[in-house]
Amino acid sequence: MPQYLQTKTGRKIAYHHHDGHGPGLVFLGGFKSDMEGTKAIHLEDWAQKQGRAFLRFDYSGHGQSSEDFTDGCIGDWADDAQAAISDLTDGPQILVGSSMGGWISLLMAKRIPEKIAALVTIAAAPDFTEDSMWAGFSEAQKAELNAGQVALPSDYGEPYIITKKLIEEGRTQLVLRDPLLLPFPVRMLQGTDDADVDMSVALRLIDHADGDDMRLVVLKGGDHRFSDPVALKLVEDAIRNVIEVTG
């Protein structure tokens, strides 16, 4: 059973935390995913075997946390992540951000850089509400959204309900328009067969960000889930590498 963190916003954030030595790992999941996914559970098991602290949690409106998904937005989920990292971990952490979690981790680099020892991103999707969703909408979909919401088909289950709030608030959280300082080791992982986040996003991110130790690792044939044994081994290797660098 998860534990719950009551945030200053009144939201209840479900989480699992295991003690261990630092820097600990914090897994940041993707859009409409939860902390029971393959990558989160695999990394939790890996961290426990290493004796390393580990935190996974559900954003509000996701998984076992409070609130409805359609009431949320990027800023809310970033607030949830900031509260979880600040209140539930000791010292700087290695953030492992998957898809939207990659965007959230970049927002944490802006908000709480002192809590970050390193970043590992997996198919990071910064600014996707603007550059992928809004930019890809037809005029009919934009009109429907402006009336309140629009439904998008999903390969992962029920259609995604995209709200006007999600798109409009997302514009206040963009990270690829202004300087983005990443003053710690950063390892970005990306699959060539990712149907949700194009390779160009990873290239744009590494070109845009400013940092002395950034690497992009590309997995030929890798998809967006990045959850098969080969992909998971790459995630482990990236974490090991930043641990070696950070000491």
Q: List residues bridging with 95 in a β-sheet.
A: 26, 119
Pairwise CA distance, residues 104 & 110, whole Å: 10
Q: Residues 99, 105, 131, 196: which is the catalytic one?
A: 99
Tokens of 175: 């990270």
Pairwise CA distance, residues 177 & 105, whole Å: 16
Angle at the Cα of 188 from the Cα atoms of 187 and 191, rounded to 5 degrees = 140
Cα distances (angstroms) measured from residue 88 to each of 5, 18, 40, 52, 213: 9, 10, 17, 14, 27
Q: Residues 58, 131, 194, 196: which is the catalytic one?
A: 194
18 is catalytic: no
Pairwise CA distance, residues 40 & 222, whole Å: 18
Helical axes 229-246 vs 38-50, angle rounded to 10°: 40
Q: What is the DSSP string of 55-92?
A: EEE--TTSTTSSS-GGG--HHHHHHHHHHHHHHH--S-
127 is catalytic: no
224 is catalytic: yes
Residues acting as catalytic residues = 99, 194, 224
